[in-house]
A and B are shown apart, each in its own frame.
Chain A
Amino acid sequence: DTGVSQNPRHKITKRGQNVTFRCDPISEHNRLYWYRQTLGQGPEFLTYFQNEAQLEKSRLLSDRFSAERPKGSFSTLEIQRTEQGDSAMYLCASSLRAEGTEAFFGQGTRLTVV
Chain B
Amino acid sequence: DAKTTQPTSMDCAEGRAANLPCNHSTISGNEYVYWYRQIHSQGPQYIIHGLKNNETNEMASLIITEDRKSSTLILPHATLRDTAVYYCIVRGASYGGATNKLIFGTGTLLAVQP
Q: Which residues of A contact B (CB under 8 A)?
A: 4, 6, 31, 33, 35, 40-45, 48, 50, 53, 55-56, 91, 93, 95, 97-108, 110
The count of residues in chain B whose C-beta lies closer than 8 Å to any C-beta of chain A is 26
Contacts of A31 in B (CB 8 A): 94, 100
A55/B43 in contact, CB under 8 A:
no
Give the complex CA separation of A9 and B41 in angstroms.
11
Give the complex CA separation of A91 and B42 in angstroms.
10
Kindly identify which residue among B45, B94, B105 contacts A42, using a CB–CB cutoff of 8 Å: B105
Contacts of B85 in A (CB 8 A): 42
Q: Does B44 contact A (CB under 8 A)?
A: yes
Q: Does B114 contact A (CB under 8 A)?
A: no
Contacts of B94 in A (CB 8 A): 31, 97-101
